Structure 1
Amino acid sequence: MGLRVQFLLAASLMFVASMLVLGTWIQGRIETDWRQSAIAATGRFLDDVLGDHVGELLSNPDPGSGEAARRLTAEIGGSLGKEFAAITVWNTQGNQVFSTRRHAMEQVLPEEVRTGVLAGETMVRPRGAAFHAEHSAVMRVYAPIFNPLTGAIVAIGGADQRSGEIDRLARAESMKTWPIVGAATVVMVAFLYLLVTNAAATIEQQQAALVRQAQRARRLGRRSAVLARLAEQARHDAMVAIEKTLARVGSDIHDGPIQRLAILALRLGESDAGRGLGADMQQVVAELRDITGGLALPELEGEDLEGAIKLAVAGHEKITGGKVALRLDPLPPQVRKSLKVSAFRIVQEALSNGFRHGGGADQAVHAQTCEGYLVLTISDAGSGFPDPPPQADGASPCLASLASRVEAMRGDIFVARVEPHGARVQVLLPLGLRPARAAEAL
């Protein structure tokens, strides 16, 4: 069952229940008002019919058997069988002075009834056990009888009125409200149905549009992910290509200009005049060979990540003659070539910077993995960084070069001063193309 139908059924039930309650309340009010009107009409009837005869009745020593009583009985006789079971008159002291059925009503009025009627009220009390042979419902009405000339209350009239007809007319009148209530309910439910239908159509259209947009977003997301991986792959390939280009440039310099400079230095050294100049040229050739040796990347094709780091450490020890404490935790055997090249260059450059600025004292390298990252820590016990240490991407050319390599790999670099003296560089390189960043985990 759809949401539209569920809402419509729930709202319809709520409206029907509410209208039933409202209709029942209105019906009760109409019936009550109708009965009140009937009671007031009975009071006026008693005053109109009995008012002209009450003076003569009260003046007769035996009111119930006099000529006035007979005329009154004849005058109201036509109404007795239709609407009234009995009509009675009491004086203002509450004593019965006339009744069409003497024993049908009280001989002496209850004090609360007498007091209320003398105050001008028309009162109703439940009918007593008298006249139990009458099968129709009866209500007992008490009303004041006024003197037509003075307007003073001179007696109390009472009537046992058959209420069956009154109840029937009241119900008939109240039933007229139900078609109105039903029509109002139908109109409101129909209006609600239109509102719900329009709202449901709008919601369905918006849902369809959202589904289309979500599908389009997913397609764009997949395309973006593919493009991001292609860009990442291209970046890694570019790094490898740059290293190969540098190696080729170093090889060309070594095989070309350096060889010719070396021959020229030898020839100059054979003559006395050029012997000093030849020694200087030999020094220049040595420096150029060192430079081109740094440009030329060692063969890493057959090495894993651990082997690349060991080659960088061994090369540094060979050039400087120092000793580096190397600690290697278990490293993944298969990684991308760009990661091996970057790890080699970072260890090589960080050790070289430590040797140049810190004297190479107690140099150490520690390699480990943590949450998808290769973590390289290079430290020494030299003079260390100033306090506070410089930013990795600041003005220091050495740190800027390291930071550039790390940034190219989408990694992080941290530098710190080691107390009492020394420096530490920590680098995080992602093992995959786009792993979650784990710098906060270390």
Structure 2
Amino acid sequence: MSGLAARLGSRRWGAAVGGWSLTRQFAVTGGAIMLLAMIVEGLFTAEVVSRNMIDRKAATTALFMDSFLSPLGRHLAVSDVLRPEERAELDWLLGKDDFESRFPHLEIWKEGGLVAYSRSPELVGRMFAPPAGVVAALAGEVSARYADLEAAEHKIRGFTSRYLEIYTPIREPNTGRIVAVAEIHEVTEPLEQRLWWLRLNSWLARIGVTAMIMAGLFWIVYRGNRVIMAQQRQLGERMAEVERTSRHNRVLRERIQRASSRVSELNERFLRGLGADLHDGPAQLIGLAALKVEHVRLAGTAVKHEEELQALDSFLTDALREIRAISKGLVLPEIEGLPLPDVVRRATRAHEQRTGTSVAVRCEDIPQPLPNAAKMCAYRFVQEGLNNAFRHAGGNGQIVTCKLEDGVLCLAVEDGGGKGPGCPAGLGSGLGLVGLRERVESLGGTFRMSKVPNRGTRIAMTLTMTGGGRDG
């Protein structure tokens, strides 16, 4: 259960941290790591500095004490304890105020733990377990350490203060042989004060340096986080734009597929209608003309022959007129290489010639070349729009407008309303508004029809000219 609780707690903590900003994560985790590193390094450095300070203090004190302890080496080489006169002289020297306030106790140890001299007379000549500092000093090493209050020689005297014990070897003057060890007890208050100030200055410097490093790193991470957040926002906006474009493209693709399918159906329907028109109109007239040829051949008189020829000519003329009327709406004029404004004007002029009406053209200059498919669509749009304006509104107030805005072609046809004369022979492309809508949507455009207030009907198409388009 405890392991499960620990894992759940870890997951919650990870989820909480994961929701933080990069700057906050760095401030918390980086700050904790820097604080821990500073504490560990500070403790280690303080210990090293304190040890070095104590060792230097021991070396200085040993050098100072050696000036009046070294003469004792000659006697200690041959005797276990100092002579009374030497002890009295040493007691007198160490009893001075400047000495006693700084070095309240002094022992001289012989090898094996024998006390050869002590300011505490009860210790002289007694054997104790030699301290570690004595053993090290007998090997020639000057060392210092705090007093062990549990040592037997300290318990006898009832020590309660942890003096700094400095161990220095005493050598025989002629041979340099170590014959004894001086254990100097030094008061620790001045040393502790110096160590306290040294540690304080060290910690203050360390805190200042750590704060500067943390501030510098935090500033770098903060600026980097701002750049990352800005890039994330831009990436999010671009992804949203891509998603919108993708949805729009899907809609357009579906519309184009539906339009292409309906255009195929309309083309089949148109071809069937065209075949019916040719069969019911020109084909019937030509068939009658073929019968009249036999009548002409069998005519018995010149008058009858002339009548049959006139009837034959009338049938053939009517058939030719109907064929021309049908084909006029099927064949586009040559519009390749023409700019869009010229294509629009050609469609309006053809309408004016067929219907005898006038059309107002408001077409801006469009220097951008357009694909032929777009120009053919525009021609049919104007043609069918004006045909409907003539059929349903009598050609009143016919206006054609076209412009190109930000790569989008906008083309519109509107009328002034009213009643039209119907549909004269040969008028129209044969597609109607439904076919026109499918033609526009098959190119990815949009088709709209609406009523204009106080006027008539308006149809409009928009077509996006991506990439500028090209003729051909």
Q: Secondary structure at the residue paired with 1:130?
A: helix
Superposition pairs of residues 343-358 of structure 1, within 5 angstroms: none
Equivalent-residue separation in structure 2 for 1:49 and 1:142 (angstroms):
15
Equivalent-residue separation in structure 1 for 2:30 and 2:80 (angstroms):
73
Equivalent-residue separation in structure 2 for 1:166 and 1:82 (angstroms):
14
Q: Secondary structure at the residue paired with 1:121?
A: coil
**1:37 maps onto 2:56 in alignment:** yes
Which of 127, 134, 148 is the matching residue for 1:126? 148
Q: Secondary structure at the residue paired with 1:126?
A: coil
Change (3 A) 1:237 1:101: same
State the Cα deviation string for residues 139-161 of structure 1 (Å, max 9, x = none). Answer: 44433101344322232222233
Which of 254, 275, 279 is the matching residue for 1:229? 254
Equivalent-residue separation in structure 1 for 2:107 and 2:254 (angstroms):
110
**1:59 shift after superposition:** 6.3
Is the Cα contact below 8 Å between 2:80 and 2:110 reproduced in 1?
A: no
**1:165 shift after superposition:** 3.5
State the Cα deviation string for residues 152-185 of structure 1 (Å, max 9, x = none). Answer: 2232222233334433322322222111111111
Q: Secondary structure at the residue paired with 1:52?
A: helix
Q: TM-score, normalised by structure 1?
A: 0.52
Is the Cα contact below 8 Å between 2:115 and 2:123 reproduced in 1?
A: no
**1:225 shift after superposition:** 3.3
Which of 73, 81, 86 is the matching residue for 2:91? 73
State the Cα deviation string for residues 278-312 of structure 1 (Å, max 9, x = none). Answer: xxxxxxxxxxxxxxxxxxxxxxxxxxxxxxxxxxx
Report the counterpart of residue 239 of structure 1 in structure 2: 264
Equivalent-residue separation in structure 2 for 1:134 and 1:168 (angstroms):
21
Report the counterpart of residue 180 of structure 1 in structure 2: 205
**1:104 shift after superposition:** 4.7
State the Cα deviation string for residues 321-371 of structure 1 (Å, max 9, x = none). Answer: xxxxxxxxxxxxxxxxxxxxxxxxxxxxxxxxxxxxxxxxxxxxxxxxxxx
Which of 217, 227, 235 is the matching residue for 1:202? 227
Equivalent-residue separation in structure 1 for 2:51 and 2:219 (angstroms):
38
Is the Cα contact below 8 Å between 2:77 and 2:172 reproduced in 1?
A: no
Equivalent-residue separation in structure 2 for 1:234 and 1:55 (angstroms):
124
Equivalent-residue separation in structure 2 for 1:227 and 1:34 (angstroms):
84
Change (3 A) 1:104 1:166: farther
Q: Secondary structure at the residue paired with 1:182?
A: helix
Is the Cα contact below 8 Å between 1:118 and 1:153 reproduced in 2?
A: yes
**1:20 shift after superposition:** 2.0
Report the counterpart of residue 407 of structure 2 in structure 1: none
2:185 is aligned with what amino acid?
D
Is the Cα contact below 8 Å between 1:89 and 1:156 reproduced in 2?
A: yes
Change (3 A) 1:90 1:62: closer
1:119 is aligned with what amino acid?
A
Q: Secondary structure at the residue paired with 2:176?
A: coil
Superposition pairs of residues 311-326 of structure 1, within 5 angstroms: none
Q: Secondary structure at the residue paired with 2:122?
A: coil
**1:13 maps onto 2:13 in alignment:** no
Is the Cα contact below 8 Å between 2:106 and 2:183 reproduced in 1?
A: yes
2:214 is aligned with what amino acid?
V
State the Cα deviation string for residues 48-69 of structure 1 (Å, max 9, x = none). Answer: 3211233246668973422x22
Is the Cα contact below 8 Å between 1:89 and 1:155 reproduced in 2?
A: yes
Q: How many residues align?
A: 269
**1:209 shift after superposition:** 1.7
Change (3 A) 1:44 1:241: same
Is the Cα contact below 8 Å between 1:105 and 1:130 reproduced in 2?
A: no
1:183 is aligned with what amino acid?
G
CA RMSD after TM alignment: 3.6
Report the counterpart of residue 181 of structure 2 in structure 1: 156
Q: Secondary structure at the residue paired with 2:179?
A: strand
State the Cα deviation string for residues 115-146 of structure 1 (Å, max 9, x = none). Answer: 54332133557242336544421244433101
**1:28 shift after superposition:** 1.8
Is the Cα contact below 8 Å between 1:64 and 1:99 reproduced in 2?
A: no
Equivalent-residue separation in structure 1 for 2:268 and 2:108 (angstroms):
130
**1:54 maps onto 2:52 in alignment:** no
Equivalent-residue separation in structure 1 for 2:72 and 2:274 (angstroms):
144
Is the Cα contact below 8 Å between 2:105 and 2:186 reproduced in 1?
A: yes
Equivalent-residue separation in structure 2 for 1:20 and 1:11 (angstroms):
14
Equivalent-residue separation in structure 1 for 2:63 and 2:251 (angstroms):
98
Change (3 A) 1:229 1:94: closer
Is the Cα contact below 8 Å between 1:104 and 1:130 reproduced in 2?
A: no
Q: Secondary structure at the residue paired with 2:104?
A: strand
**1:147 maps onto 2:172 in alignment:** yes
Is the Cα contact below 8 Å between 1:94 and 1:108 reproduced in 2?
A: yes
Structure 1 residues without counterparts, runs of 5 or longer: 269-442
Which of 120, 137, 143 is the matching residue for 1:117? 137
Structure 2 residues without counterparts, runs of 5 or longer: 1-19, 295-472
**1:263 shift after superposition:** 9.7
Is the Cα contact below 8 Å between 1:47 and 1:146 reproduced in 2?
A: no
Change (3 A) 1:153 1:62: closer
**1:223 shift after superposition:** 3.4
Equivalent-residue separation in structure 2 for 1:159 and 1:191 (angstroms):
50
2:184 is aligned with what amino acid?
A
2:54 is aligned with what amino acid?
R
2:92 is aligned with what amino acid?
A
Which shifted more, 39-48 or 18-27?
A: 39-48
Equivalent-residue separation in structure 2 for 1:134 and 1:31 (angstroms):
24
**1:197 shift after superposition:** 1.9
Equivalent-residue separation in structure 1 for 2:112 and 2:32 (angstroms):
59
**1:239 shift after superposition:** 1.0
Q: TM-score, normalised by structure 2?
A: 0.49
Equivalent-residue separation in structure 1 for 2:172 and 2:76 (angstroms):
13
Change (3 A) 1:200 1:118: closer
